[in-house]
Chains A and B, each alone.
Chain A
C-alpha cells in the first residue's frame, strides 16, 4: 500500500515526506542538521535527551524532532532563539552531570557530547558540577567492558541496545530523579551479572561511559620483552580500520597493514584466513560425523549442529538456552585456533619454544577478550591467545606509532599462512560461516564442482533476523549414501536478539545446521569495531568482504594449499586425535 505523503516546511524550506516520518527525518531530507544524542539509527526512538528540540508553530512547548511525527502544513523552526537557548541549556546540563575530563578520556575526539559542547561553545561551566566522587571509580570487573558512570549522560542507548537489539538485559535504568542511573542487576559488578561481552553497547555509547577493557598497553610492553610476538588481524578488522585511521580500504590495504605491524615490532604477521579455513574444514568434519552418528543411532548425536564461533553467542546460549549445550559445535573459534596452531604447528615449523611465543589477536569482537581469558582455551598448557585487542585499539597503536599506512609498501604474511580462501573471509559476516561450510560440504559429499548459485547463496546474505536455505544432495559419494536425496536445512540467526524467536520455534522444524552470530551482520558489526556503527555502515563494510571473496581464486576452505600442508604434516586428517587436541574446546568424549 502506498504511503501518504505529507508536506511541511522547516525553516521555511518546503519538504515532502512519507507519513510516519519524524520531523528529524524531514529535516535530514533537506540537509538540515539537528543535533541528537539519545537517537540512534539502529534503536527505537526515545526522546530522552531533548537535544533535538525544535519549535513548531502553534505549539506552546518545543518538541523533540526525533519523536515528533511530521504532519501536513506543519511549520518547524530548528534554530530559533528559544530553540538555541533550550539546546544550549540542555548541553550545559549534560556537561554538569558528566565527568568532563576530556583530555584524559578514551573517547577524546570521538565523543558526541564533546562535539555538541564545542558546537555550542560551552566554556564557562555555568552550572554546579554534579558528578559524584564514587561514580568516578569505573567498574573494571569484566573481561571486555569498562563501565564509567561518571561519563554516563543517561541517553539509554546501551539499555535499548542490550534489551531490544541483543535481548541480553544486562543494563536497565534504576531509581529516579537525581539518583536515576543505568545499572546492572542489583547493581552488581559486570563480571557477576549476565553479560555476553558483545560490546554493542560500547559502539552505541555517545561518550566513554562504556568502553572496552583495553589491552594494547600490555601489547606494547610485550613487544619489548624479546619474545616472539605473532599477530593476526581479521578481515573485518582490516575492512573497517580505515574508518578510524582515515583511509578507504582497497586491495593494497591488507599487505600495507602487515608492513605497519612489522614496523611496530611484531615478529610475525599471520593471515587469519588460514586459520579460518582450518575452522571450516573441522566444522564440516564435525557436522558430517554428527550426521553419520545420528543416522546410525538416532538420538546419539544432537542435531542440529549449532555454530560456536561467536563467543558472545556461546555465552548467551549457556545462560538462556542451556538445553542447546549438546548442540553447540566443539570446535574452537577461528580466533582461538589461530593461537592454538601458532603455539603448536607454527612453533614446530619455526623451531621455536612455544613458551616463548606470544600470540596477539586483533579482533572486531570484544567478547573475544573474554573468550581468550577462558582457561579452557589452551594448548599443551599454554593459553591459545595471550592478548586480544579490538580494531579500535589497533588503530590507536598505529596512530601512536606515527605510521601512515597508505604510504607504506606491501609485505607478505608469514610464509606458513600466506593463503586463504574466499570462504574464510565470509565467516565474519552473518550467514558467511554457513556459506563457507556448504562450499566444503557440497564437494565432500558429492565430489562435484560448486554451481554458481552455491557460490553466492543469496537467502543467507543480507540483514534479515532469521535466514534459511535448503539443500538437496544427489549423486552422493558412497561414504555418504545416507544423504542421498536428503534435504539438509540450514538456518542463520543474525544477532542474539533473534535467537529467542528462532529457538522458540525450533522443535517444529528440523534443521541440520544453525549459525548464530551475537552481533547483527556478524563480526563485521562487532563491538570492537570503529565508532559509530549503524546498520548502513555494517552493510558497507560487509560489501568489502563479499568483494574479497569474489576476487579470490580459491573459493573453498579445503582447497587452501597451505591448509592441505598443515593437515598432511601435522594434524593428519580433519577430526584426528591431534586435531581434537588443538582445535577443539575440550577433549571430546570417547565414543
Chain B
C-alpha cells in the first residue's frame, strides 16, 4: 500500500480573489470530451466519500441523451464531524459554481441546483449575491446556464443522491432503487450529475493547474489533496487541506494531543481506527477513505458512549423506508444497551454483529449499509469497553 508523509496543501482556498471566472471562461473554449478526459486523467474521485471517479460520472451523463440534463451540487453536508463544504461555499463559492458550469457545459445541462443543508440557510443571501454575479458572467460567455438554491428540510438521508432528487421533486427524501442511477435517470427522470461541493471546487482547481500537476499529489489510487475537518480531542480543530495517502500515524502525530486512542475516520458512517492500527492505516481509497471527517478520541473517552451516540444518531436519521435500516439500527442500539446492563449475555454481541453485516448487505442505500462500519470497527477494537 503506497503512502507518504503528511503534507499540507493549499489549493482549494488559494488563488481566489483574483479569479474572476477566468478558469471557467478559458475552459468553456475547450472541447467537452477533452475536458472530461482531463478530469479523468487527474484521477479525481468524488469528495463526498463514495469515491466514484468524477470524470467517468460526467462522461456517462454526457453519453446519455435526453431532453435535458441537470447538475446538482450536494451541499447537504450532514456527516458528523464534517464542515468543509460550509467553508468552501462561504469563502470560495466561485470555484464551486465554475465546477458546476463546466460540468453543465460537458453534459448538456442548462440548469444547476445547489441542494443546501437546512442549517446553512443563513448563507442564502451571500450565495444568491454570488449567483447573480455568476449568471452575469456566464451570460457574457454566451453560455446558457442558471443555478438555483434548493434548501433542504434537514435530514441526513437527503445527502444520499437519489433521496436528494426525491426531495427536490417535492417528495419525502427517500432513496430510490438503483439502477437506474441518476446519471441515467435522475432529477425528473433526466440524466443528472450529483457531485459534492468539494468535488466541484476541486474540478475547478484541476482545470486551473492541469491534471498532470494535480495528479502529482497523492497516490495512484488517491490522487490529489482534500480537505479534512478535525474535531474531538485535538489542539488543532478545524479545516486542513492535506495530500491524500498519509498514514494515520503521521496524521495523529501532527494533530493528536499525545493521548489519542482512536480516530473515527469518515464520521458516523466511517470506521473507528484504534491506536495499534495507526501505522498501517492509510487515509485514502487504498486504505480508509473519508469525506473529510476526522474525529480524534483520547484516553478520557468512553468508546461505549461514542458507539451509543452513533447508533442513536442512526435510529433518528434513518429515513425509515427499508427494514434493515429502520429496525436494525434500533435493535443494535437496544442490543448494546442490554449487553452493557447485563440484561443480555455477552454472546448477544455476535448476534448483533451478524445483524450489522446483514444490514450492510441488504439495506436499500448507503446509509443503512454503512451502519456496520462504526459498529463493527468499534466493537472489534474496544470490546471490553463495550461489554463491561
Query: Hey, which bits of chain A sit against chain B, CB under 8 A?
Result: 45, 47-51, 53, 61-62, 64, 67-69, 82, 85-86, 89-90, 93-94, 96-97, 126-128, 130, 153-154, 173, 175-181
Residues of A contacting B224 with CB < 8 Å? none
Q: Is the CB of B316 within 8 A of A50?
A: no
Our pick among B322, B338, B354 for the contact of A48 (Cβ within 8 Å) is B322
With the chains together, A177 CA to B328 CA distance in Å? Answer: 10
Known contacts being A69-B179, A177-B318, is A86 close to B362, with CB within 8 Å?
A: yes
Q: Is the CB of B362 within 8 A of A50?
A: yes
Query: Hey, which bits of chain B sit against chain A, CB under 8 A?
Result: 155, 157, 172, 177, 179, 314-324, 326-331, 334-335, 338, 351, 354-355, 357-364, 369
With the chains together, A173 CA to B179 CA distance in Å? Answer: 24
With the chains together, A181 CA to B172 CA distance in Å? Answer: 13
With the chains together, A178 CA to B329 CA distance in Å? Answer: 8
Q: Is the CB of A50 within 8 A of B320?
A: no
Q: Is the CB of A61 within 8 A of B362?
A: yes
Q: Is the CB of B330 within 8 A of A178?
A: yes
Q: Is the CB of A93 within 8 A of B329?
A: no
Residues of A contacting B314 with CB < 8 Å? 177
Known contacts being A96-B331, A130-B330, is A85 close to B358, with CB within 8 Å?
A: yes
Q: Is the CB of A176 within 8 A of B316?
A: yes
Q: Is the CB of B320 within 8 A of A180?
A: yes
Q: Is the contact region of chain A dominated by helix, strand, or loop, or is it mixed?
A: loop
Residues of B contacting A53 with CB < 8 Å? 361-362
Cβ-Cβ contact count across A and B, 8 Å cutoff: 114
Q: Is the CB of A67 within 8 A of B177?
A: yes
Chain B CB within 10 Å, residue with most, of A45, A69, A85, A89: A89
**Besides A50-B364, A178-B320, 5 other CB < 8 A contacts?**
A64-B177, A89-B354, A90-B362, A97-B327, A154-B321
Q: Is the CB of B320 within 8 A of A179?
A: yes
Q: Is the CB of B177 within 8 A of A45?
A: yes
Instruction: Write the nearest CB–CB distance from B348 to chain A, whole angstroms.
Output: 8
Residues of A contacting B327 with CB < 8 Å? 93-94, 96-97, 130
Q: Is the CB of A128 within 8 A of B321?
A: no
Instruction: Write the nearest CB–CB distance from B350 to chain A, whole angstroms.
Output: 11
Q: Which residue of A lies closest to B173 (CB)?
A: A176
With the chains together, A179 CA to B318 CA distance in Å? Answer: 10
Known contacts being A97-B327, A177-B316, A177-B317, is A90 close to B358, with CB within 8 Å?
A: yes
Q: Is the CB of B331 within 8 A of A64?
A: no
Q: Is the CB of B364 within 8 A of A64?
A: yes
With the chains together, A178 CA to B333 CA distance in Å? Answer: 11
With the chains together, A47 CA to B177 CA distance in Å? Answer: 7
With the chains together, A93 CA to B331 CA distance in Å? Answer: 8
Q: Is the CB of A154 within 8 A of B326?
A: yes
With the chains together, A62 CA to B324 CA distance in Å? Answer: 12
Q: Is the CB of B360 within 8 A of A61?
A: yes
With the chains together, A90 CA to B314 CA distance in Å? Answer: 18
Ordered nearest first, which 3 A-B pairs have the shortest CB separation?
A180-B320, A67-B177, A93-B327
Instruction: Write the nearest CB–CB distance from A23 to chain B, whole angstroms.
Output: 12
Instruction: Write the nearest CB–CB distance from B102 to chain A, whole angstroms.
Output: 31
Q: Is the CB of B324 within 8 A of A93?
A: yes
Instruction: Write the nearest CB–CB distance from B339 to chain A, whole angstroms.
Output: 12
Could you show 7 A-B contacts with beta carbons less than 8 Å apart? A51-B323, A53-B361, A68-B177, A85-B354, A86-B361, A130-B331, A181-B320
Q: Is the CB of A154 within 8 A of B320?
A: yes
Q: Which residue of B lies closest to A45 (CB)?
A: B177
Q: Which residue of B lies closest to A153 (CB)?
A: B323
Q: Which residue of B lies closest to A60 (CB)?
A: B361
Residues of B contacting A181 with CB < 8 Å? 320
Residues of A contacting B369 with CB < 8 Å? 61
Our pick among B326, B334, B358 for the contact of A128 (Cβ within 8 Å) is B334
Chain A CB within 10 Å, residue with most, of B316, B327, B338: B327
